[in-house]
Amino acid sequence: MLLVTILFIVFLVMGMPVAFAIGISGMAFFLQHPELPFTITVQLPISQTQNFAMLAVPLFIFAGNLMNSSGITKRLMKLSSVLTGHMHGGLAQVSVVLSTCMGGVSGSAIADASMEARVLGPDMIERGYSKGYTANVISWTALITATIPPGVGIILYGTVGEVSIGRLFASGMLVGLLMMIGLMITVWITSTRRGYGAERKKATTKEVFSAIGESIWALLFPILLLGGIRSGIFTPSEVGAFACIYAIIIGAFIYRELDFLKIARTLGDTVIDVGAIMFIIALSGIFGYGIPLENIPKLLTDAILGISQNQYLVMLIILGILVILGMFMDGSVIILLFTPIFLPLAKAVNIDPVHFGILFCTIITMGNMTPPVGLAMYAVCQILDIPLTDYIKDMWAFFFTVIVLVVILMFFPRLVLFLPNLLFG
């Protein structure tokens, strides 16, 4: 697997698309082992996608795109403004709350960051927020979106690691809210120091209830999602199908902003999104085939346990490795390739798979906000025409907030597992 890994890194440095880098480097393992039937390289990409639970990925992506097309986003924007626009750094606080609300709609940090860069970014810069600060607020708050269900990364982790997606969703709900609180405090402190004021006067009770009423259908979705799984009415894949129908009903019959042409356009966009993700998933089957054959999980487990068998130190080592990996690799790829390696190690030191999975996915997704190859970072900087140097200069308060939150959650697993244990036992 050493040659496979080296080739993979070389291909990435050359700028080869991630899916091809995974598939072609994975073929090298079979060239090294001629005793293995080469026909396996054809079978693996097909078998990798023949997983019923994997249906949840395209269904939730389609549901998220439908909700974005149905007028939900602008209503959530109004609600966020009503709730937090009167605070220090009003528009920045709006970004935090909007990303939290979008967690039940989008499930993608990159999609949320790109949307907010277009909707909030120009207003923030016009009202005196520095460009670097604006880009960081929009990028880092999108991390909440990927944590609150239905985050695509969490679905991938649950599917690959055979961990309860219902428990992961419940855990992500609470962790996402804690992340919202942490980032709101960070925005309040940094905005106060920079002199960024409120966007508006404090909303009246009537305005708050009016905004909640307009957004109630979007706010209800994560609750219905968890309720459906907990009650046994839906499997995670069936919840994805329910989400698509739910989005169509809300957009077409309640908000009346979703027509046939919009649905067709949304379906076309979803095909592109799903195609890219599923292509990576399919070819990761070739890359990952040699991992158990060469006993990589056991070798890595023995190496790390040789340093320490303390579960907290082991978790710190794993998370440290993931911080570095997240800076250079796509999050979906890391989840697909490293869940089979790190999850057995976590279990070996009695770390709960749900506790580990939420921190695992959070740190990996954080790579979208950090240089050198953070996709959310680049998307926001490109949309707002912001130099990368300005972004990096204003990044550290948000970076340390997320790291501190992850460390706290690592030492207090009951915070992460409270809601899953309450709902699922």
The C-alpha atoms of residue 159 and residue 164 are separated, in whole angstroms, by: 8
In a domain? residue 362: yes
In a domain? residue 33: no
pLDDT tier at 71, thresholds 50, 70, 90: confident
In a domain? residue 89: yes
Specify the length of the chain in residues.
425
The predicted pLDDT at position 313 comes to 92
CB 25 within 8 A of CB 207: no
Phi, psi of 232 (to 5 degrees): 85, 5
The predicted pLDDT at position 177 comes to 92
In a domain? residue 203: yes
Report the pLDDT averaged over residues 78-103: 85
Q: Look-up: residue for tokens 């709609």?
A: 105
Q: For 311-317, which contacts have Cβ atoms below 8 Å and span 24 or more sequence positions?
A: 311/349, 311/350, 311/351, 312/410, 312/411, 314/345, 314/346, 314/349, 314/351, 315/346, 315/349, 315/351, 315/356, 315/359, 315/410, 316/410
In a domain? residue 104: yes
The predicted pLDDT at position 183 comes to 95
- Lowest mean pLDDT of 127-136, 168-177, 208-217, 283-292, name the range: 283-292
Q: Look-up: residue for tokens 């309040």?
A: 188
In a domain? residue 18: no
Residue 371 has pLDDT above 70, yes or no: yes
User: CA of 274: how far to CAs of 221, 266, 300, 321, 334, in Å?
Assistant: 22, 12, 32, 28, 18
Q: How many domains does the chain have?
A: 1
Give the sign of the dihedral formed by CA 329, CA 403, CA 343, CA 332.
Answer: negative
Q: Give the tens place of pLDDT for each residue, 333-365.
A: 788 888 888 998 899 889 999 999 999 999 998
The predicted pLDDT at position 104 comes to 65
Q: Which two tokens stand for residue 379?
A: 């998307």
Report the pLDDT averaged over residues 255-269: 86
The C-alpha atoms of residue 98 and residue 112 are separated, in whole angstroms, by: 9
Report the pLDDT averaged over residues 289-296: 74
| pLDDT: which is higher, 50 or 179 | 179
The C-alpha atoms of residue 289 and residue 296 are separated, in whole angstroms, by: 11
pLDDT tier at 233, thresholds 50, 70, 90: confident
From the list 318, 392, 380, 389, the residue with the least C-alpha distance to 95 is 380
Report the pLDDT averaged over residues 9-21: 80
The C-alpha atoms of residue 399 and residue 406 are separated, in whole angstroms, by: 11
The predicted pLDDT at position 401 comes to 95
Indicate the average pLDDT of the chain. Answer: 84
Q: Which amino acid does the sequence have at 21?
A: A
In a domain? residue 371: yes
Residue 405 has pLDDT above 90, yes or no: yes
pLDDT tier at 410, thresholds 50, 70, 90: very high
The predicted pLDDT at position 176 comes to 92
Residue 106 has pLDDT above 70, yes or no: no
User: CA of 129: how far to CAs of 187, 265, 393, in Å?
Assistant: 12, 35, 14
The C-alpha atoms of residue 31 and residue 1 are separated, in whole angstroms, by: 12
The C-alpha atoms of residue 325 and residue 337 are separated, in whole angstroms, by: 11
Residue 417 has pLDDT above 90, yes or no: yes
The predicted pLDDT at position 1 comes to 67
Q: Give the tens place of pLDDT for each residue, 138-147.
A: 999 989 988 8
The listed range with the strongest mean pLDDT (31-40, 50-59, 311-320) is 311-320
In a domain? residue 348: yes
| pLDDT: which is higher, 372 or 34 | 34
Question: Residue ranges of the alpha helices (H) in 148-256?
Answer: 152-161, 165-194, 205-230, 236-249
Residue 165 has pLDDT above 80, yes or no: yes
**Residues sharing a CB contact under 8 Å with residue 410, sequence separation 6 or more, in sequence order:** 312, 315, 316, 319, 359
With vertex at residue 162, the alpha carbon angle to CA 110 and CA 424, rounded to the nearest 5 degrees, is 90
**Could you give the percent of the chain with pLDDT greater than 70?**
97
Report the pLDDT averaged over residues 69-75: 77
pTM > 0.85: yes or no = no
The predicted pLDDT at position 409 comes to 94
User: CA of 63: how far to CAs of 130, 152, 183, 269, in Å?
Assistant: 34, 12, 27, 12
The C-alpha atoms of residue 121 and residue 125 are separated, in whole angstroms, by: 6
Q: Look-up: residue for tokens 């919840």?
A: 239
The predicted pLDDT at position 51 comes to 67
The C-alpha atoms of residue 280 and residue 274 are separated, in whole angstroms, by: 10
Give the sign of the dihedral formed by CA 140, CA 142, CA 147, CA 148.
Answer: positive
Domain around 186: 39-424
Q: Which amino acid does the sequence have at 116?
A: E
CB 161 within 8 A of CB 48: no
Residue 52 has pLDDT above 70, yes or no: no
Report the pLDDT averaged over residues 26-39: 85
